[in-house]
Amino acid sequence: MTAHLEEFINAFHSSVGEKRFQRLILSAPTQGTSLETPRKQTVRPIEIKGQNVLQWELQFDKLQTHQNLSYEESVEKFRNEFGDLFREAYLFTNESEEILRKSKKGLKHTKKKTTPQEPRVSLKHNRSKNYLIPEGVPCPFLEALGIMNAAGKVHAARQKKFRQVNRYLEIVNDLYSELPADGPIRIVDFGCGLSYLTFGVHYLLTSIHQREVILHGIDQKTDVISRCQSLAEKLQLEGLEFSNGKIENTAQQTKVHLALSLHACDSATDVALAYAVNAQADVILAVPCCQHEVFPQLQNDDLKLILKHGILKERIAALVTDALRAATLEAKGYKTQIMEFIDLEHTPKNLLIRSVRRDKPPDANSLSRYEDLKEILHIQHLATDQILK
């Protein structure tokens, strides 16, 4: 077990000394995150006042902090935190990617050679953000989807989509430790559409985490599904398939590890959430789209000043709907957060419901608060109710 750790640290040492080092990532916290424990740490080389140092970026739920350390200090920090605080480490160099993973079976060290690249890391302090899929490295599915060219350069008109895909993959990657450590990972993507993010999740789990994946994308648009299936076959992506139809008509799986729903229109989000709960999904990620049920029902004399304005009433209705969705998931035993998915400049639908299943009985308090809010706002019927059945 120690040999794997030393091999990884030696690879880190040589890449830094030979100026091949790009970044090091520590992820999959052993005890979850807290105010003291970040959910991810990213290490990159920078130059400050003429000296080369390694900058540690500590990513908490709502903030980032930085530490500038020497190589020796970085190795000591890595030794102290890997295994005890984090279960996974990723080392990216100019010609390889290495993964060190700790599980109940011990340490596993894997290495994958990549196409040799010119050094992509600028030591300047104000350099651009590191991504799980970095610009400058060819990525077959992004090329096929028209986001980057064969050399790995992102097309100027697709920069926002490139950042959106990477942001989403960061969110999925932060929850990787909640997925099963062994065996295939079963995923359902409801309302997958053109499937930029579906292909991205498949790439993250198969190429970066080197896991077997069974991923099923569902959408009502026949032409879209045909295109996605053809693309998956062209890229020879194992375990990825698409089908046409409504969510409620999809055969229920006995177990889903990861359920995804991005911009499923109107009450389709609620149908997807109900499916995920019934399939005992370990992780649910949903970016809700429009939902029209609450708007015509919304009444409250104390809120007349707000509700008399259509645009404000529409926004309140959307926020109420998502709050009720979160409450139903909590009532079903999920730890649930509503967080910003991506900046408003990319999409006005920027809230993401993130839920992780916990082995505990249904939360009666969440159910009570759910019913109380419906009563206060005179909401009689809601598609979200089906999640509780």
Q: Which helix (H) or strand (E) holds 26?
A: strand 21-29
Q: Is residue 27 domain-shared with residue 88, that is, in the same domain? A: yes
Pair (96, 25) in one structural domain: yes
Which pLDDT score is estimated for 136?
Answer: 83
Q: Are residues 103 and 169 in the same domain?
A: no
Q: Find the domain containing 74 and state its range.
A: 2-118
Whether 199 and 264 share a structural domain: yes
Could you read off the pLDDT of 238-263 as tens digits, one per residue?
999 999 988 877 766 678 999 999 87
Q: How many structural domains is the chain composed of?
A: 2
Q: What is the DSSP letter of 153?
A: P
pLDDT of 125 > 60? The answer is: no
- Whether residue 141 lies inside any domain: the answer is no
- How much is the pLDDT for 65? 76
Q: Would you say the pTM of this structure is higher than 0.85? A: no
User: Are the beta carbons of 55 and 67 closer than 8 angstroms?
Assistant: yes
Residue 51 falls inside a structural domain: yes
Residue ranges of alpha helices (H) inside 118-186 are: 140-144, 159-174
Last residue of some domain: 86, 118, 150? 118
> Does residue 172 share a domain with residue 84?
no
Angle, CA of 60, 198 and 251, to the nearest 5°: 115
Average pLDDT over residues 159-177: 90
Same domain, 204 and 288: yes
pLDDT band for position 144 (50/70/90)?
very high
Confidence of residue 360 (pLDDT cuts 50, 70, 90): confident
Which residues, 6 or more positions from 344, have their beta carbon under 8 angstroms from its beta carbon? Answer: 350
Of residues 159, 104, 170, 82, the one with CA closest to residue 131:
170
Q: Give CA–CA dist 77/334, Å, rounded.
A: 33
pLDDT at 118: 47
- pLDDT greater at residue 46 or residue 374: 374
| 304 part of a folded domain | yes
The predicted structure's pLDDT at residue 375: 95
Residue 149 CA to residue 195 CA, distance in Å, equals 18
Q: How remote is the C-alpha of 337 from its chain's centroid? A: 13
pLDDT band at 282 (very low <50, low <70, confident <90, very high): very high
Which of 90, 118, 146 is the last residue before a domain boundary?
A: 118
Q: Do residues 174 and 102 share a domain?
A: no
Choose the final residue of a domain: 66, 86, 118. Answer: 118
Residue 278 placed within a domain? yes
The answer to whether 379 and 297 have CB atoms below 8 angstroms apart is yes
pLDDT, average across residues 213-218: 95
Binned at pLDDT 50, 70 and 90, residue 347 comes out as very low
* Number of alpha helices (DSSP H) and beta strands (DSSP E) in the chain: 11, 14
CA–CA distance, 283 with 319 (Å, rounded to integer)? 22
What pLDDT is recorded for position 268? 85
CATH code, domain with 296: 3.40.50.150
Q: Is the pLDDT of residue 62 over 80?
A: no
What residues does 106 pair with on adjacent strands?
Answer: 103
pLDDT tens per residue across span 348-359: 467 899 999 987
Q: Which two tokens stand for residue 76?
A: 């000591």
Residues 35 and 179 in one domain: no
310 part of a folded domain: yes
Question: Taking residues 225-230, what's their average pLDDT?
Answer: 94
Residue 128 lies in a domain: no
218 pLDDT band (50/70/90 cuts)? very high
Shared domain check, 287 and 210: yes
Q: What is the pLDDT of residue 261?
A: 92
Which pLDDT score is estimated for 123?
47
- Binning pLDDT at 50, 70 and 90, where does residue 230 land? very high
**Residues 6 and 83 both lie in one domain:** yes
Same domain flag for 329 and 269:
yes
Mapping DSSP to helix (H, G, I), strand (E, B) and coil, where does residue 337 land? strand
